[in-house]
Amino acid sequence: MRGGAQVLSLRGATKRFGGLVAVDGIDFDVHEHEVLGLIGPNGSGKSTTLNLISGALAPTSGTITLRGAPISGQPAREIARRGVARTFQLVRLLPSMTVLENVMAGAVFGHRRRWGHAAEAQALAVLEKVGLAGAAGSRVGQLTYIDTKRVELARALAGDPEVLLLDEWLAGLNPTELEQGIDLIHKLRDEGRTVVLVEHVMDAIRSLCDACVVMSSGRKIAEGTPSEVLSDPEVVRAYLGDDNA
């Protein structure tokens, strides 16, 4: 049973690129203090769905609401101010700036905006949370791959968002880094963050998610707990194909 107030809601969310329907009438809700996994094969529309939520793309039709107020089609900067923050499949940092300056940008332009010393204090606090307290003065080009991901996560957290969108944040990590990454998301989950997690690492999905939505060819094909959806025959077929399923 999913508890907590409804924070994010998609109803009939659709995105067309010419004749291609990338997201086809998606409906789902995200509840306060839960981690919702958005899963499915490559090309199923998961990242496009996150782009619709965050404002990187405007939906062709349908509605997206945050705490009951529509955010569909609003500019990304306004949706960030309203309380949605994200990371990207390919890490996007400001290479000319230090780690601290990158994270301060999240405090200045995010949901709960801070300036000056308050922004710096917030940035230092979230860097400590993600395990980078000692790297504040480093240039991002000096960091390991997982540490660049930590910086991007810290920047998203610095604005204290209502909803955190993680787009394959665990992708590309070696086994040790993967364990550290799952651990870090566990801590966010335990502190009550509301997270939508696009991920292919099934151990992470089982460990972290309260609920899952499964997409295939732009459509939602299943919804439920991780154990329910991962045993659903249609989900197995979508991942493995009819012959292997």
25, part of any domain: yes
pLDDT digits (tens, 9 = 90+) for 95-148: 889 999 999 999 998 888 888 999 999 999 999 999 999 999 999 988 999 999
Structural domain including 114 reads 84-161
Contact residues for 181 (Cβ-Cβ < 8 A; gap 6+): 146, 149, 169, 170, 173, 204
Asked if pLDDT for residue 211 goes beyond 90, the answer is yes
The verdict on pTM exceeding 0.85 is yes
CA–chain centroid gap for 22, Å, is: 18
182, part of any domain: no
179, part of any domain: no
pLDDT digits (tens, 9 = 90+) for 232-245: 999 998 887 765 44
115, part of any domain: yes
pLDDT for res 4: 79
* Shared-domain flag, residues 130 and 239: no
Here the tokens at position 112 are 């709960």
242, part of any domain: yes
121, part of any domain: yes
Once rounded to an integer, what is the mean pLDDT over residues 215-221? 96
Tell me how many helices (H) and strands (E) the chain has.
9, 10
* Shared-domain flag, residues 90 and 206: no
Contact residues for 120 (Cβ-Cβ < 8 A; gap 6+): 100, 104, 107
